[in-house]
Structures are given as C-alpha cells and as structure tokens.
Amino acid sequence: MKKLLWCLIMAPFFCASQTQTFSVLNENSKTSLRGLSVVDNRVTWVSGSNGAVGKTVDGGATWQWIKPKGYEKLDFRDIEAFNEKEAIIVNAGSPAYVLKTVDGGEHWIETYKNADTAIFLDCLGFWDKNKAIIFGDPINNQMKLLKSVDAGKSWQDISSNLQIPLAKGEAAFAASGTTIKTLPGGKTWIASGGTKSNIYFSADYGTSWQRFKCPILQGENSTGPFSIDFYDAKNGVVVGGNYVKDKENSNNVLITNDGGKNWLEPKIPVAGYRSGVAYINKNTLVATGTSGTDISIDGGKTWKHISDVSFNSVQKAKKGNMVVLAGNKGFIYKLEIK
C-alpha cells in the first residue's frame, strides 16, 4: 500500500516499471539541449542553444556551464567528448563552425568555418580518437562531408567521395546529433530524411559509399529517421517519425540484422516520434523524444513506454553504465536500469 501511494503521488514515469528509475540531474536552464556525450560514469558533456555547453565531472551532481567566447548565439547541436578536458562541438546553421577545447572548455579553438549560406552541419562521429567525420545537408544535391585525421584539429572536405546525388527535399535532421553512427575500423552509417529516407554506408572511413533504402515514415519535410545506432556491424536500429505529430507512432522505428541493407518493423513499436535511440547492451535499447521514452529488452522487437517526459537525446557512457537523457529547458536526467 505504501508503494502504491508513493506511485500515485510521485511523477508517473518513476513507476512505469520496477526496473527503470529516472533521476533529475539538471532542470530549468535557458537552453534546448541536443548534443550529448557521456564519457564515463563521472564525465558527461552536453550542448545546445544560446551557445550553451555543460559539463559534469561528478556523475551529474554538479554542472559547469560554459559559453564559448564569440559564439554565444550559436546552436550547438552535437558534441563529442573524450574526457573532462577535451571536447569538440558543431553548430547548426550558417556560418558553420567546429570548435575544439583541450582545457575543459576554458578556451576554444576554431578548427573549421564555412560561411556559405546553404551550409547546415548535422552530426559528428569519431571512429577513434584521431579519425572523425561530420556530415551536413546537401548543397546542390551533394551531401556535405568533412573528415579529420588529427583529432579534429583540421577538416578536409570529402563530399566528392559520395557520388550518389540526394533527391530533392532529401536532407537530414540535427535533433540529437545521432543521425550518424561510426564504429571502429571505418564503418559509418548516415540516415537521411524528408521527402526520401535512405541509409548511406561506408566501410572505409568515408572513401566509398553505398545507399540502402530506409522504409521509415517519410515524404514530408518533418518526417524520416532522426536517430540511428548500431550495436555491431550487423545489428542496428533507427527511430524517427513526424516531429510535428510527436504522439503518432506509425512506422517510426525499424531494426536491421544485416548492417542496414534491410529493415524490419518491430512487433510492438515505440509510443511516438523519437529523436534519440541508444543500445545499452545487445538486447536492451532506449528510445526518446518529445512525447516520452521507451525501452526494449529483446533487441528492439518490442517496446514499452516508460515516461512521458520530453527529451531530445539519449546516450550510454562509452566506458561505464551511465545512461543520460537531455532535452529542452536544460533537462538532464539519469536513467538507471536494473
């Protein structure tokens, strides 16, 4: 009876399942957080609107908020951190910038700038600490691709490597910095959306590319895949939908077991539009979006809704078991799965 009373009084999502618990790490900051990089159980970096970058080095107990000087009005949609000192951030829109810090955010170095009015960088991915790739919306039907081999100190334009023209209205979403997935050895998946949805795959650090159809909800500027993740070279998941109809769950999650060549609908889908998805382990996955969070414990075949709280992104620690979600109004929550 006491447990039931607690569940009725507390926020409903705390009792959606006996094995998942949400803890508030931060709220009520004047920034919409989309970039998220969970290094380990202590160190997490976030990035978002109004030039905001946040960092914790004590598992979320306290946060340091940083605004890179001279870039205070930018919307940093993606971030990649390696430890409490080193991180790289990418903004959306024009001009496009890539900034790097090696002293915990005290100083930032501009390693890339593009003032083309058509430029819009979407996501950043690292194959290892030195080799990285950034992709952006197409310019003249050609996807923008940048590559670094020196830990993000400089960037080479490799857009001409992808010789497959994108369709009119086909672009990508920068809702969580996760429409790209990289794995060690040069494997890369990029998900496009809008009028057409495809998966672009490279097995050789972006030198050559293949295109696979992604049969997720598509056809409008607001539809398509918003996040992709792979557990290994074969098993992956993609989520999305229509962000202007975030409670509709028609064909907005797919899984693959052949590296993205073919995609299957799960038996029970997520409960609505989702902009972030992450493998916790081979069988456990978490998907989140503005209409809530879902979990799967069978490799993405069936999903259970566990929260109505709005988030943009979710990520598990590279080293450790920390699972963090981030969203609007500076929301940062920790999810414990037991």
CATH number at residue 279: 2.130.10.10
Amino acid at 258: D
Q: Is the peptide bond before 225 cis (omega within 30 degrees of 0)?
A: no
Is 14 inside a domain boundary?
no
Is 18 among the domain residues?
no
| Residue 5 maps to a domain | no
Examine residue 252 and state whether it is found in any structural domain, yes or no. yes
Residue 9 lies in a domain: no
Domain membership of residue 2 (yes or no) is no
Q: Give the range of the structural domain holding residue 55, as residue numbers without chain letter.
A: 26-337
Q: Indicate the residue type of 156.
A: Q
- For residue 86, give both structure tokens: 């080193």
Which tokens hold the place of 110?
């501009």
Angle at 80 between CA 280 and CA 43, to 5 degrees: 65
Angstrom CA distances, 115 to 79, 112, 142, stand at 20, 10, 17
DSSP string for residues in 53-98: EEEESSTTSS-EEE--TT-TT--EEEEEESSSS-EEEEE-SSSEEE
Show the CA angle centred on residue 134, arms to residues 330 and 257, nearest 5°: 90
User: Is 292 in contact with 305 (CB distance < 8 Å)?
Assistant: yes
* pTM score of the predicted model: 0.94
11 domain-assigned: no
Number of domains in the chain: 1
Cα→Cα distances 10→7, 181, 240, 262, Å? 5, 36, 30, 42
> In the chain, which stretches have pLDDT less than 50?
1-17
Q: What is the DSSP letter of 186?
A: T
Domain membership flag for residue 20? no
